[in-house]
Structure 1
Amino acid sequence: MQNALVGQRVLITQSTAFMGPALCEVFSKQGATVIASPDDLADPDAPARVVAAAGPIDVLVANLAFTAPSTPALDVQDAEWRAVFAALVDPLPRLLRAAAPAMVARRSGKLLVIGSASALRGMKRTASYSAARGAQLAWVQAVGVELAPHNVQVNAIAQNFVDNPTYFPPEVQANPRFQERLAREVPLGRLVAAREDAQFAAYLCSPAAGCFVGQVFPVCGGWVGR
């Protein structure tokens, strides 16, 4: 895939976290004009402000990050629940309200949510985080079919065990216990490279991927469903 995004203006949110650095690099190499916004979007006014500052865009990549709490389910308090949803879920409808009307008006546009596969498999001590990531995917499925008749494609990547600085920093990857976990849980035997994931995201945001609507694509090294 070469120059798949030439002529496309792409806004990537939280560009310094999670998959942001890899997305910005790969999308730029694919010819996109990348508008990289490092802003946190938990503030209710932030999504509209970020979209307005970006100017006209063809693609919005909702890359939202939050350090996953490891609280046992019985100990999850309201403050934690609200904080996780404020960071990962609440920005989505705000981003949509800010960016989608112009896409609908011109009958062209894409929104890709970079989500997590934690919603696709039960994992201990991740109740609040998994619930928020699951809400992202449900939102994508619903909004995707609603906007499809307007030729606006909304999809998501649900990933885990993908190299990124937020969830798998170097010190985590160097830990022998984590290496044992990779060998035990991931048939691939390694993390998915950030570039591999970002290239798939670039494809989904390209004109070649106009047939996918409301879809959730797992990128997880092969463990979903096992």
Structure 2
Amino acid sequence: MRLEGKRALVTGAGSGFGAGIARKFAAEGAHVICADINGDAAREIAAAITGTPVEADVASGASVDQMLDAAGPLDIVVNNAGITHLPMPMEEVGEEEFDRVFAVNCKSVYLIARKIVPAMKAQGAGAILNVASTAGLSPRPNLNWYNASKGWMITATKAMAVELAPHGIRVNALCPVAGETPLLSSFMGEDTPEIRAKFLSTIPLGRFSTPEDMGNAACYLCSDEASMITGVAMEVDGGRCV
């Protein structure tokens, strides 16, 4: 019960890593607000963990404000929602797709921070966790703008950590390798045994990240056990970045 009595918001909680983090947090005693652009998915996860569902588009300022008003006071915020573009040469990614990747992966962190940071400053405590990616540390070809968005998130995490530390607010990031999530086929271009084998050959431990892996790492960084840890980008990648 490492998060007993805590209120946590997890974006993108309807599936994949977000669902794994939400389940772990609930198992450790937190009340979890499960936010997702897919309202049905948010409600399904929230029902399973006795949490609170919220349908929200984290790329929209108005939607984020409504989400956070509905969430109420928060001790923990996990910026997990994210998207990618399909693998292709950088110059072939359309402007609209580029804008959407940066709106969901980057602008969302700003939109949420501007709303929750004043409240966390007032209470003198808080934990913010940004789900980045190994793509921000060791980029793969043909995912250029997705790589860049995750590199932005890692730098934002460190900048936030330095600025907010005097207020008792810790900010960290997780950098998973690709996992069994709805985005996996988008990362690989297509999901075939051959492409999976090639992808897995770059991960020393020989498997993808799982929602459970992410939940365990997120729980640690957001718990009081990590009270001296801020500004880190923890790799949960089976050795991918070694």
- Same fold judged by TM-score > 0.5? yes
Q: Distance in 2 between matches of 1:192 and 1:122?
A: 17
Identify the match of residue 46 of structure 1 among 63, 68, 75.
Answer: 63
Change (3 A) 1:122 1:174: closer
Partner of 2:231: 214
Deviations 1:163-203 (A, max 9, x none): 3333269xx99731134224421110112332122111011
Contact 1:70-1:126 within 8 A present in 2 as well: yes
Q: Distance in 1 between matches of 2:31 and 2:102?
A: 30
The TM-score, its normalising length taken from structure 1, stands at 0.91
Query: Does 2:81 correspond to 1:64?
Result: yes
Contact 2:12-2:19 within 8 A present in 1 as well: no
Partner of 1:90: 107
3-state SS of paired residue (2:61): coil
Partner of 1:166: 183
Q: Distance in 2 between matches of 1:177 and 1:147?
A: 45
Change (3 A) 1:183 1:156: closer
Deviation (angstroms), 1:18: 3.8
Identify the match of residue 164 of structure 2 among 120, 125, 147.
Answer: 147
- Can you give the 5+ residue segments of structure 2 that lack an aligned partner in the other structure? 37-55
3-state SS of paired residue (1:218): strand
Identify the match of residue 31 of structure 1 among 22, 29, 43.
Answer: 29
Deviation (angstroms), 1:129: 0.6
Shifted more, 132-141 versus 193-202: the winner is 193-202
The count of aligned residue pairs is: 222
Residue identity matched to 2:197: E
Q: Which has the higher contact order (CA 8 A, sep 6+)?
A: 1
Query: Does 2:26 correspond to 1:15?
Result: no
Deviations 1:59-85 (A, max 9, x none): 001112213332201223322221110
Contact 1:62-1:114 within 8 A present in 2 as well: yes
3-state SS of paired residue (1:198): helix
Q: Distance in 2 between matches of 1:68 and 1:76?
A: 8
Q: Which runs of 4+ in 1 moved over 6 A?
A: none
3-state SS of paired residue (2:13): coil
Q: Distance in 2 between matches of 1:174 and 1:84?
A: 21
Q: Distance in 1 between matches of 2:68 and 2:180?
A: 27
Q: Distance in 1 between matches of 2:182 and 2:130?
A: 18
Identify the match of residue 177 of structure 1 among 186, 194, 204.
Answer: 194
Residue identity matched to 1:35: I
Q: Distance in 1 between matches of 2:200 and 2:118?
A: 46
RMSD between aligned residues: 2.0
Residue identity matched to 2:145: S
Residue identity matched to 2:238: G
The TM-score, its normalising length taken from structure 2, stands at 0.85
Q: Distance in 2 between matches of 1:106 and 1:65?
A: 28
Deviation (angstroms), 1:139: 0.5
Q: Distance in 1 between matches of 2:22 and 2:221?
A: 15
Shifted more, 156-165 versus 125-134: the winner is 156-165
Residue identity matched to 2:83: F
Of all paired residues, the percent bearing the same amino acid is: 29
Contact 1:69-1:129 within 8 A present in 2 as well: no
Deviation (angstroms), 1:87: 1.1
Contact 2:200-2:208 within 8 A present in 1 as well: no
- Can you give the 5+ residue segments of structure 1 that lack an aligned partner in the other structure? none
Partner of 2:3: 5
Q: Distance in 2 between matches of 1:71 and 1:183?
A: 20
3-state SS of paired residue (1:19): helix
Deviation (angstroms), 1:212: 1.2
Contact 1:162-1:220 within 8 A present in 2 as well: no
